[in-house]
Amino acid sequence: MATKDHTIVFITGANSGVGYETVRALLKSSRPYYIYLGSRSIDNGNQAATTLRDETPESSSSIEVIEIDVSSDDYINAAFEKLNQGPGRLDVLVNNAGHSLENRVSTGQYTLREAWNKMYDVNVTGAHILTSTLAPLLCQSSNPRLLFLSSGLAQLETLSKGYYPGQPPVAGWPKSASISPHGYRASKTGLNMMMLTWYWTLKNDGVKVWSVNPGWLATNLGGTREKLKELGAGDPALGGTLIRQVIEGGRDADVGKVVISQGIQPF
């Protein structure tokens, strides 16, 4: 059971990838956390929680699983009720759940419209509605923190100077939908604007707000971990370490910005 001494943290999409590594990083901290591990699948969430508990038996922190699909208002409202009836406050919300679906357009699993709508629904709309729903609980905290997981692809300033990554495709049509993650890029750029509006909206409530770019890491987002490792992607644990740094006050000078491990990412 969560107590007044615990920092109450809710992390969406935390049964794998950067979310999972964030839970692991917090469990290894000397600070006591009560971590709500958000997962679309309760079975996957419970499996992740069991593994993490077994790895850190001496941790002063605890894990509880919340089944959460940020594209569903019913799940979001149920999460609010669980938190409200439990600790009655939320100290840290980490909007980590995300989709990158360009490759699934190429394979025919989604139409282009379906993929873009789904990415915006999860990456932007879902994060916004979850934040809106849980904002009253954040405002009950004495040190509230709100994080949105962004991407290095979401840089208008950099993109305006020279398209990246890589060279433009050869002339001719059609072009592969997987050449560049246009929908994912656009959704994360929209998320950064949303972060700025939340930073402004909650400023007088004392809520510290950031976007966090954990870096190019070998997760299952938009591909397979092994393939990304071969291409040079980093260990997802690096993302967990960065998010823990933000949660524990190491980046308080950078509120309202997109933080990266080495500083600030341009908008």
Would you please indicate which residues are annotated as catalytic (active-site) residues? 151, 184, 188
What residues form DSSP beta bridges with 44?
A: none
Name the 3-class secondary structure at 217: strand
Joined together, the tokens standing for residue 208 give: 């510290």
Joined together, the tokens standing for residue 145 give: 């923190």
Taken in order 133, 150, 220, 27, the sign of the CA dihedral is negative
Query: What's the gap between Cα 197 and its chain centre?
Result: 17
Beta-carbon-side half-sphere exposure of residue 230 (alpha carbons within 13 Å): 5
